[in-house]
A and B are shown apart, each in its own frame.
Chain A
Amino acid sequence: MEAIYAIWQRDILKFFRDRTRLVGSFAMPFMFLILFGSGMSGAMSTMLGGEGASGPLSDFNFVEFMFPGIIGMTVFNTAIFSALSVVQDKEFGYMREILVSPMSRVSIAIGKVLGGSTVAVFQGLMMLVFVPFIGISISYMTIIKLFPVMFLVAFAISSIGLLIASSLKTAQGFQMIVQILIFPMLFLSGALFPLSGMPAWMDVLVKINPLTYSVDMFKKIIFDVEQMNPVLVEAMGLNLRIFDHVITFTEEVVVVTIISIVFVVLATIKFSRAEA
């Protein structure tokens, strides 16, 4: 237990000490939300309803739509890149100090995943400072609901990160693989645009993407879907379906939990085989 705590504590300590990383982590989501979001919102409303659309579609606000996706993106990025520290520890030698100690490899792997998850949840929650500028209101209840879901998503993604990091020796290699992985997963997750009216092959990719369910959970928590007009719900892609079955929030929790377990087990096995 102490071992898991020690590994976790080191990651947290280093995260808060690194000011550039702290500030830098705000830059990306901010740009997406303000520059991309505001820039696209005009085009989006034109596409949805044409100039001067009336009825439910006129309520569509693209920046508002993007917000849960941006939280998801932040959690996802932070969680997967937290595993970079594993590769860096290999490069700078600290991994040997860890691996020649009597701690079990399983504790080390769990400590790493928990460290990455904690940092990612913290970053995700930090995104809530944008709330007043976007014009949506969220209650304390929303934050309390967001917290465990963020953690679950962060845990799954950190495990994927550790699995990749355990198989690689250089930081450059890790960054390259993760970049290649991140972009398609983000674009096909519904984080940046509504997932409606997609070609069938793309729809398949969307449905096997774990991020889709993660982002959708955030949306369901932040938006009051039941109170919304069905036409708007459809336009915003808030009714994720597999073979005409509308996926519920509970099902999404189950899916992401299963993904978490599978990847944390794989990552731990892979990590345990590492030689010092």
Chain B
Amino acid sequence: MSKIVEVKGLKKNYKDFEAVKGVDFHVESGEIFGFLGPNGAGKSTTINMLSTIVKPSEGKAFINGFDIVKQKNKVRSSIGLIFQESTLDEKLTANENLMLHCKFYGVEKNLREARIQEVLEIVDLTDRRTNVVETFSGGMKRRLEIARGLLHYPKVLFLDEPTVGLDPQTRAHIWEYILKLKEKAGITIFLTTHYMDEAEICDRVAVMDGGNLIALDTPDELKRNVGGDILEVTTENNEEAKKLIKATYLTEVKELEQVLSFHVTKGDEFLVEFIKTFNIPIKSVNLRRPTLNDVFLQLTGREIREEVISQKDRMKKQLRQGRRGH
């Protein structure tokens, strides 16, 4: 495996605000690489820098061996981009949209016909080829955009929130196509998402928060780091139960909407023991494997969230003062 994307100390400042605070990572050729984080974490800014849309303030990055600042056009030929918002020409047909893309990217004339056929097959839109895009549903438009992004055989396909605003069924379909792509075309897929379940599908996940990269590993490894399983209980007396759990098992207990949750090792054995010995009446109990959601909670926790909020407030204050000053 080779490094198809290499990022070294990439930074982006907007005036006083640091959107991305210097990130280092690489993406292996052929993997699905996910960027996970809340809105405003710096995911899109990083993708925009990598795809030559935004100029980095500091640092370096290479895609397919090309410098994203000095070799813009080479980078642009090497990547496919699917944005959060649609960038199709809705007045034109699917075929016309694809044909224009071939011309924009200099796909050779005698290859165009076959390529269009090929990408339409991947996303199951062959029968809609001559229809005007205006008549497409949201999911179909997404699929057409994915097809278009593949036309010039990019080495890396960037998907910025590929399923945002779609219904669950369509979301599942889009994912089928993305996985099919990985198998068939063998290209590298680089995506951002704030859906935890989507991040689970990735080979590796980078967790971003407040402009920093705070973790990078396979979803399984990230979850293993959380430690064992998670036990969720509701009891007759949560206050007492909390104290008791803390005292007996020496662990942190979180309470969310009347549900107490804590980490345990070897959850199945622990559960039997727990129910037998716990002397506050239990209303319900649930043992589950940790999800990326737990990973994210553990990594960022409360404090980092608060900081994000206060940073926003600070910006607002500055804006207000700025206005008064003029």
Contacts and interface: CB of A to CB of B under 8 A. Distances in A.
B285 interface: no
A94 B103 contact: no
B87 A93 contact: yes
Contact of A6 (B54, B88, B100): B100
B85 A101 contact: no
A94 B89 contact: yes
Contact of A3 (B53, B86, B91, B103): B103
Interface residue tally on B, bucketed by range: 20 to 34
A6 B103 CA distance: 6
Interface in B179-214: none
B64 interface: no
A57 interface: no
A92 B96 CA distance: 17
Given A14-B92, A275-B54, A100 B76 contact: yes
Given A13-B96, A93-B83, A275-B53, A98 B91 contact: no
Interface in B64-81: 73-74, 76-77, 81
Interface string A64-107: 00000000000000000000000000001110111111111000
Nearest to A99: B53
Interface in A115-156: none
Contacts of B92: 10, 13-14
Given A13-B96, A93-B85, A96-B83, A101 B105 contact: yes
Contacts of A275: 53-54
A5 B103 CA distance: 9
Contacts of A276: 53
Given A100-B53, A102-B105, A10 B83 contact: no
Secondary structure of the B contact surface, majority rule: loop
A6 B92 CA distance: 13
A98 B53 contact: no
A17 interface: yes
B106 interface: yes
A102 B103 contact: no
B90 A100 contact: no
Interface in B32-79: 51-54, 73-74, 76-77
Contacts of A102: 73-74, 76-77, 104-106
A224 interface: no
Contact of A10 (B74, B90, B100): B100
A2 interface: yes
B165 to A, nearest CB: 14
B76 A101 contact: yes
Contacts of A18: 91
B87 A94 contact: yes
A93 B83 CA distance: 9
Interface in A3-32: 3, 5-6, 9-10, 13-14, 17-18
A99 B88 CA distance: 13
A17 B91 contact: yes
B73 A93 contact: no
A181 to B, nearest CB: 27
A221 B276 CA distance: 104
A19 B106 CA distance: 31
B151 to A, nearest CB: 11
B101 interface: yes
Contacts of A9: 100, 103
30 contacts: A2-B103, A3-B103, A3-B104, A5-B103, A6-B100, A6-B103, A6-B104, A10-B89, A10-B100, A14-B92, A92-B89, A92-B90, A93-B85, A93-B86, A93-B88, A94-B88, A96-B53, A96-B83, A97-B89, A97-B104, A100-B52, A100-B53, A100-B76, A100-B81, A101-B76, A101-B101, A101-B104, A102-B77, A102-B104, A275-B53
9 smallest A-B Cβ distances: which pairs?
Answer: A6-B103, A101-B104, A93-B87, A97-B87, A102-B76, A102-B73, A276-B53, A102-B77, A96-B87
Interface of A: 2-3, 5-6, 9-10, 13-14, 17-18, 92-94, 96-104, 275-276
